[in-house]
Amino acid sequence: MAREEQALLSTEIVNRGVEPSGPDAGSPAFSVRVRRRLPDFLQSVNLKYVRLGYHYLISHGVYLATIPVIVLVCGAELGSLSRDELWRKVWGEATYDLLEVGGHALKTNITTLGPLVLPFSEQLLFFAGVLFRHLFPSKASTPAPPTTPGDASAAAPYIPDFKRAFEHFCMHAASRDVLEHLQSNLGLRDADLEASRAALHRFGNTSSSSIWYELAYLEAKGRVRRGDRVWQLAFGSGFKCNSAVWRAVRRVRRPARSPWLDCIDQYPARMDA
């Protein structure tokens, strides 16, 4: 044991300079410093990060102490819900947030895309509505109640008729609610979103790649003719909304390879089954 302790000791001779006074004044002075080094297993530890870790725990101790309280409160609230109610609560709120944020992104996208693809008459009506809301914000913020179901207020923002700019639509098929909101906000028909609903029905939510399954659906149906314009619209992280516009330079015949070849004749009737 004595040898192990002695192995941890190290000596160092320190030069203290010249003695300023006393009987040894003017002579060099030295001292011996004995140090005890750390064991080998501690030499491999970066003590700087160990100290930082303890400092982090101490400074964030208040926040860490609240975690058990949050778990108890949330557990008590969620424990009173059934599994169906819990899923409805989580996904319902998530879908609402997605639609709200996606609405702002969609507005920015169509405002940029509209002047590039819409006919002049639609652009004139759209910018006239924007100018009206800018000059008369009070009237635009307090619209009169509709007289009949589905009747839009005169002060409501004008939604351009994109059916005059495109023959086919490939919308982001994230869920039924997303497609329904896109259809109502853009004034599209059920036939315009047939490809989107078919892709959602067969492949589920494939995120932004769903617009390519929808384009493949239109090609498999043989609906894309020369001169037709296709609008692909998808959402992404950020939160962002992007569009792609295509014009067919020739008639697209039924392809030999497609993810829809084995079931294309079953749609759209298969969605109603």
Domain encompassing residue 17: 2-36
Residue 82 counted as domain residue: no
What was the pLDDT predicted at 33? Answer: 76
What was the pLDDT predicted at 171? Answer: 95
14 forms beta bridges with 31
What was the pLDDT predicted at 27? Answer: 81
Listing DSSP states for 5-39 in one string gives HHHTEEEEEEEEEE--SSTTTTSEEEEEEEEEPPP
What was the pLDDT predicted at 139? Answer: 62
Q: What is the mean pLDDT of each run of 10 residues along the chain (273 residues)?
A: 65 78 78 68 51 59 68 60 56 54 80 88 82 73 44 58 95 90 90 95 92 95 94 86 94 90 91 78
Residue 256 counted as domain residue: yes
Residue 25 counted as domain residue: yes
d(CA 63, CA 56): 11
Provide the whole-model pTM: 0.59
Q: Tell me the angle at which helices 194-203 and 176-186 cross, rounded to the nearest 10 degrees.
A: 170
d(CA 81, CA 155): 42
Assess whether the previous peptide bond of 255 is cis (omega < 30° from 0): no
- The CATH number covering residue 198 comes to 3.40.47.10
Q: Which two tokens stand for residue 89?
A: 């609560």
Residue 121 counted as domain residue: no
What was the pLDDT predicted at 94? Answer: 47
For the chain, what is the domain count? Answer: 2
Give the number of other CB atoms < 10 A from CB of residue 194: 20
What was the pLDDT predicted at 20? Answer: 79
Residue 244 counted as domain residue: yes
34 forms beta bridges with 11
- 51 within 8 A of 59, measured Cβ to Cβ: no
d(CA 103, CA 172): 13
Residue 91 counted as domain residue: no
What was the pLDDT predicted at 230? Answer: 96
Residue 68 counted as domain residue: no
